[in-house]
Amino acid sequence: MNHSATKPTDSAAKPSIGEYLIQRLQDYGIADVFGIPGDYVLSFYTMLEEGPLNTIGCTREDCAGFAADAYARVNGMGALCVTYCVGGLSVCNSIAGAYAEKSPVVMITGSPGLRERIHNPLLHHMVRNFRTQYDVFEKLCVAGAELNDPLTAFREIDRVLAACERYKRPVYLEIPRDMVHVRPEGAPPYEQPVALSNQGALAEAVEEAAKRIDAAERPVFLLGVEVHRFGLQDTVLQLAESANIPLAATMLGKGVVAETHPLYMGLYEGALGPEAVTEYVESSDCVVMLGTFMTDINLGIYTAKLDVSDCVYATSEELRIRHHHYHDVRLEDFLAGLAKRGLSQHSPVPTELTDWRKEPFQLNAEAEITISRMIDRLDEQLEGDTIVVADIGDALFASTELTTRGQTEFLSPAYYTSMGFSVPAALGAQVARPEARVIAIVGDGAFQMTGMELSSIVRHHMPVIAIVLNNSGYGTERLLHPGEYEFNQIHSWQYDQLPEVLRGGTGYEIHTEGDFDRALRAAWEDKSGPSILHVHLDPQDCSKALDRLGKMMRETVTQGK
């Protein structure tokens, strides 16, 4: 959709600044807004509540931010609304994560009215000066505006929302509370400049890349998160299928295409990942990196043996083919150009790399549950419309063994790695896709940070399944810094009893494989509300991926090497 061409509101109706913003959010496909009210934003929040958008109240501002982030990943763009400073500054971490992982979230905040600011009074919530919160979010967002001038408010709203869509990063809009109902006179509609690729650079880049791919004996596509963010999955699959080129994904890009696709090999994580995938990618004579960011997590904590200067490296921010840099070439235009030109057919991919059929899970009902066996059993349960939300630590590393069967069905803060993402993110994902089955996998430490967002999930009768991994501590840190340290211990809760406290949902306590099998079956059939699966794990138990990570990072973490 060309949003700039949309007529947001009949000019004769003279919308207020608040009404105009609400209409423009709808124009970008946003139907729900997460947040917590407060006096400086109550006027706009009331407008939201009485208007066409659905408002989802959360328990904490950072939870609202995580929920909006997940909603944006699934829906295409998300939004949250909080009050000034005590609300806004509480959501900094969530917005920082959205920026780091390219999630298009619109942060809306209230602020003191312009008339209240005369003579610079000491108003509640204010820190240092009236500009402090704006200055903070200027560092965390790709664009922002304070809507303090009726003559420019509409244009600023349009400029900021356009930046959110174009760059797939969070943006910031601050509304003084006495500006919400102001109706600007004769404000002209904003006309967004259309971002176009430099046609000469585009043509040369497409031709050079195509020739390199055609000449290669073993090319491979390495897919990153931007393939999802910019909706390029179908174009990438068309390219790969037309030339019989195998696909791998980075951890942040997991689930960007269905992992059951006949050309998909698995995750590339350097020495952390499957050995066969690592060997194939690193021995390829033409690695085509699409929408992939060179982060330490994506590179297996820098164990990857990839030389970007010898790759085709294409993102929304950079296009490099070996030592040639092409400027002003959009990622979507580059991929469309390759698809239009066409690529030569390559040899069949070895079936042992792309055959994702697994041996049927054989239940050992009396055996103590382990993280790896739990993941194997869960993998059998997943369906095409299941969304898995993994928190960090072994919730993430173990979950990389799950087989996603659709597109964008795996959500995790795999780069920013902020604990506490998964439960509020499950709320956001369920709101974005009500018909989906949403599963949150979360460690006990992360759950104790934000797990009470289950209250909102109970309130809305959402059938989210929350799997709490209880190993009584920070499992990742135990591996990185072995020893009986108090800072790695976590007080154990009776997580399966929380539904009684929250007055909704069902809890299950799990010690064995049989316990988990019965609980998962029951939870899957129960659509009346959330289910909490409290999984007791041995404190020393961990996935193979986390064990490899611990061995690699231990010396760096403990000795600073």
pLDDT bin (cut points 50, 70, 90) of residue 2 is very low
* pLDDT value for 5: 41
Q: What would the pLDDT profile of 276-320 be if each residue is shown by its tens digit?
A: 898 899 899 999 999 998 776 656 555 566 777 779 999 999 999
pLDDT bin (cut points 50, 70, 90) of residue 532 is very high
Q: Which residue has the higher pLDDT, 252 or 13?
A: 252
Question: Residues 97-116: what's their mean pLDDT?
Answer: 92
Q: Write down the mean pLDDT value for the chain.
A: 89
Q: What would the pLDDT profile of 389-447 be if each residue is shown by its tens digit?
A: 999 999 999 999 999 887 658 999 988 889 999 999 999 999 999 999 999 999 999 99
Q: What would the pLDDT profile of 360-380 be if each residue is shown by its tens digit?
A: 899 999 999 999 999 999 999
535 touches 372 (CB < 8 A): no
DSSP E strands, 424-559: 437-443, 465-470, 506-510, 531-536
* pLDDT value for 518: 98
Q: What is the pTM of this model?
A: 0.90
Letter string b/e over residues 270-305, b meaning 16 or more CB atoms within 10 A of that residue's CB: bbbbbeebbebbeebebbbbbbbbebebbbbbebbe
In the block, residue with structure tokens 């709203």: 157
Question: Residues 525-544: what's their mean pLDDT?
Answer: 94
Q: What percent of the chain has pLDDT over 90?
A: 69
Instruction: State the number of CA atoms in the 13 A half-sphere of 1 facing the CB.
Output: 11
In the block, residue with structure tokens 């109550």: 42
* pLDDT value for 188: 64
What domains does the chain contain, in order, with CATH numbers? 3-176 (3.40.50.970), 199-354 (3.40.50.1220), 371-559 (3.40.50.970)
Q: Which residue has the higher pLDDT, 49 or 560?
A: 49
* pLDDT value for 553: 63
Whether the pLDDT of residue 8 is over 70: the answer is no
Instruction: Report which of 428, 417, 413 is spatially closest to residue 75, judged by C-alpha positions.
Output: 428
* pLDDT value for 355: 74
Task: Give, to the nearest 10 degrees, the angle between helix 371-381 and helix 513-525.
Answer: 30
How does DSSP assign 150-192, residue by residue? Answer: TTTHHHHHHHHHHHHHHHTS-EEEEEETTTTT---SSPPPP-P
* pLDDT value for 174: 96
pLDDT bin (cut points 50, 70, 90) of residue 359 is confident
Spatial CB neighbours of 410, under 8 Å, sequence gap ≥ 6: 254, 255, 387, 388, 390, 399, 402, 404
Segment of 112-121, 352-361, 437-446 carrying the highest mean pLDDT: 437-446
* pLDDT value for 364: 95
Segment of 83-92, 317-326, 457-466 carrying the highest mean pLDDT: 457-466
Poorest-pLDDT segment among 172-181, 211-220, 336-345, 407-416: 407-416
Residue 261 structure tokens = 């696709």
Whether the pLDDT of residue 382 is over 80: the answer is yes
Q: What would the pLDDT profile of 120-172 be if each residue is shown by its tens digit?
A: 776 677 677 778 899 999 999 999 999 999 999 999 999 999 999 999 999 99
Spacing of C-alpha 365 from chain mean position:
35
Question: Residues 198-224: what's their mean pLDDT?
Answer: 96
pLDDT bin (cut points 50, 70, 90) of residue 272 is confident
pLDDT bin (cut points 50, 70, 90) of residue 11 is very low
Instruction: Report which of 427, 178, 379, 224 is spatially closest to residue 316, judged by C-alpha positions.
Output: 224
Whether the pLDDT of residue 190 is over 80: the answer is no
* pLDDT value for 4: 45
* pLDDT value for 1: 42
* pLDDT value for 517: 98
Whether the pLDDT of residue 34 is over 80: the answer is yes
Q: How far apart are CA 126 and CA 112, in angstroms?
A: 9
* pLDDT value for 472: 85
The count of other CB atoms within 10 Å of the CB of residue 451 is 24
